[in-house]
Amino acid sequence: MTSTIRTLTVPLDGTAFPGGLPSFLVRDDVLCWTRREAGLAGFGEIARFTATGPERFLEADIWWRHLVIEADVTDHVELPGTGPVAFGSFAFSKTSAHESRLIVPEVVVGVRDSQVWVTQLTLGDGELTEQSALAALDRWLGSGSADTPAAFATVTTAAADSATEAQQGAVPGRAGAAVVRPLPLAAGATLHTGSLSEEAWMEAVTAGVAEIRTGALEKLVLARDVVATIPTGVNAAKVLRELAARYRECWTYGVDGLVGATPEMLIQVEGRTAQARVLAGTLDRRDAHGEDGLPMDYATRVLAGSEKQRHEHEIAIQSLTKQLAPFSEAMNAHDEPFILELPNVWHLASDVKAELTEVEGHVPTCLALINALHPTAAVCGTPTQVAGALIRKLEHLDRGPYAGPVGWLDAAGNGEWGIALRGAVIEGPETVRLYAGCGIVDGSQPEAELAETWAKFRPMLESLGISS
């Protein structure tokens, strides 16, 4: 067995994949990053890195660079996401006991700009050929044929089934006020509050606003959790397909039981160009029911016209651009936020684009940028140190990977890392822990913030089939 990683990337020409990348989401252990029809799916595992603590990003960066620096790479496609690839998720907090991780799969399928490819990765000595790559993918997708990837027909069918399920699925209403909610769903599923009751969480919001009014900080992000128990079992692949079908403008992710569909891009790197999407300011789309005029007109009036929401958004933009500036030779951002329309909510959103500059003789890697950017004001608050300490005091919750970076990177320095929002951790065959948070500023109302968390739980509740 060699310690040198070897990879072969070949195009999957001449094969139709209706549904694109989501059609490959047929295994509960799949590694996933997809938006619309494009993205990456990984199967198996040949190497893993784990770490905790404040140096977790830099330690992962060193591990990855050492792994790929002498890699034997044959790449017949040469696009971002080809060659050696690792999927990863990182804990939100440097004090978290949750292990951050990078996972190098055995097989990766990629879809980008109508091109489809497969990469086989190994630390072994066997010969890598187009035939071996196709056979490896076919094996992970469950077909017995090594000549023709017959499982492709299976995944195409799965994608069609997913689209049908998404069209037929009910959209759940806002949950009531009870602490324990029996739900009219599959075989008596139940939903319980997690670390704090709703009443205790609203008290935490009140305490946070009081701290903001002292001038100690401008913004605080408070999260809460709920636990779903589903006796019929949790099907992670179905959850991912549901999210990919319903939330096409989001990035659907799956890494080691962490699943979700985030609307927020922490950093995307392609060559020397870095991009981010910043969200802050939220309006539940159900609040528009019964209002005069078009829904988007309502969103523009209530969301974009709100001094509170715009202030919260401006804090988030300033946080990101300030931290990204030392790595950039040029940067531009929207003068005015736009309204991002999702099935559950509207957000104030801004896109930021930067041309990276060399720092100490080289262009910064994805993980070096993440180390500088995380946590942003959008998921922590500002000032960061004050907000972080107050989060630990008020939440009574280890966020684990929630609101931490999640995504992928390749050996060329390309990568996409979202913030793990609108997601959950599958804790067991029948148990899922969901997370949601809200930006708290002066003027925040506890009842409204609680309602906002339920709007943000909705994508995961939908994907689990839960309605109330």
Helix pair angle (446-463, 198-213), 10° resolution? 130
Q: Which of 264, 314, 395, 449 is catalytic?
A: 264
The yes-or-no answer on residue 219 being catalytic is yes
441, 450 Cβ separation under 8 angstroms: no
Q: Rounded to an integer, what is the distance from CA 381 to the centroid of its chain? A: 19
Name the one residue in this structure whose structure tokens are 């140190």.
Answer: 385
Q: How many CB atoms lie within 10 A of CB 50?
A: 14
Q: Which of 37, 59, 219, 314 is catalytic?
A: 219
Helix locations, 260-379, DSSP H:
295-299, 307-324, 366-373
From the CA atom positions of the chain, what is the Rg in Å? 22
Instruction: With residue 333 as reference, give the H or E element that holds it.
Output: strand 328-333
Task: Please state, in angstroms and rounded to a whole number, the distance separating the CA atoms of residues 84 and 68.
Answer: 7
Closest CA to 23 of 155, 162, 160, 163: 155
CA dihedral 111, 372, 342, 261 (to 10 degrees): 50
Query: Phi and psi for 458 in degrees, rounded to 5?
Result: -55, -45
Closest CA to 391 of 205, 221, 224: 221
The yes-or-no answer on residue 264 being catalytic is yes
Q: What would the DSSP string read from start to end of 69-137?
A: TT-EEEESS-STT-SSEEEEE--S-TT--SPEEEEE-SEEEEEETTEEEEEEEESS-SPP-HHHHHHHH
102, 64 Cβ separation under 8 angstroms: yes
Give 452's contacts (C-beta < 8 A, 6+ positions apart).
Answer: 282, 284, 436, 438
Give 304's contacts (C-beta < 8 A, 6+ positions apart).
Answer: 310, 337, 339, 348
Closest CA to 22 of 261, 195, 214: 261
Positions marked catalytic: 219, 264
